Amino acid sequence: MAMLIQFFVPSKLSRTVYNQITDWAQIIYAFALIVGVFSLLKYQAEKLSRLQSGWIYNLITIVSLVVMAILGFAGGRGDDSPFMWAFNHIQAPMQASVFSLLAFFVASAAYRGFTARNTEAVLLLISAVFIMFGIASIGNAIPVFSNIANWILMNPSMTARRGIFIGIGLGTIATALRVILGVERTYLGKE
């Protein structure tokens, strides 16, 4: 509701109220994070104590959490601190590795999605070929590919996306109204 009011009322008061609310949201998040970390520790510790399959991962999680916390509290978070070294040389590369997996998953998903089973799938396959060649540097050298790719992206694809956007917008308004009117209270853990 505060966001809605702030969208239409540009005054300093509405902005101050909005900023206060977002600040409170940050504070709640910070405290919830503490609860979340204890919930994670409890879950991992219970699994570790039962030595369930994959217990080594539970151990690694707990040790990593404790070590990073010690490094952060003891050495700070400066550019040359042990904490940042661990972050830059262990966590960041691991995250990059998981992100890199996306390339292989895109390939496997594309192989499955573009299988020409029926008319719609054939249309999808043809569109995909034009778009992939049109956007890739090799296809960009051939004007017909890039022109067709742009046409597909800016016309049928954009039309479909805008239709979805309108649906999502209406759904968002309806959900917000249900919450504001108290019709929908499941997210509060109530009937």
Which residues form the interface with other proteins (CB under 8 A)? 4, 7-12, 15, 25, 28-29, 32-37, 39-40, 42-43, 46, 53-54, 57, 91, 94-96, 98-99, 101-102, 105-106, 108-110, 112-113, 161, 163-168, 170-179, 181, 183-184, 186-191
Give the tokens for residue 97: 């590795």
Phi, psi at 51, each rounded to 5°? 50, 45
Residue among 143 and 155 whose Cβ is closer to other proteins: 155
Residue among 124 and 150 whose Cβ is closer to other proteins: 124
Task: Report the distance separating Cα 9 and Cα 3, nearest Å.
Answer: 10
Residue 72: CB minimum distance to other proteins, A: 15
Long-range pairs, 35-39, Cβ under 8 A, ≥24: 37/65
Residue among 93 and 138 whose Cβ is closer to other proteins: 93
In three-state secondary structure terms, 1 is coil
Residue 44: CB minimum distance to other proteins, A: 9
Residue among 144 and 174 whose Cβ is closer to other proteins: 174
Residue among 118 and 138 whose Cβ is closer to other proteins: 118
Task: List helix spans (H) across the chain.
Answer: 2-8, 12-49, 55-75, 82-86, 92-113, 119-135, 137-140, 143-152, 158-180
Give the tokens for residue 56: 């080594």
Residue 13: CB minimum distance to other proteins, A: 9
Task: Report the distance separating Cα 173 and Cα 175, nearest Å.
Answer: 5
**Among positive and negative, which fits the CA dihedral 58, 61, 64, 70?**
negative
Residue 74: CB minimum distance to other proteins, A: 22
Residue among 138 and 188 whose Cβ is closer to other proteins: 188
Task: Report the distance separating Cα 20 and Cα 18, nearest Å.
Answer: 5
Residue 45: CB minimum distance to other proteins, A: 10
Residue 163: CB minimum distance to other proteins, A: 7
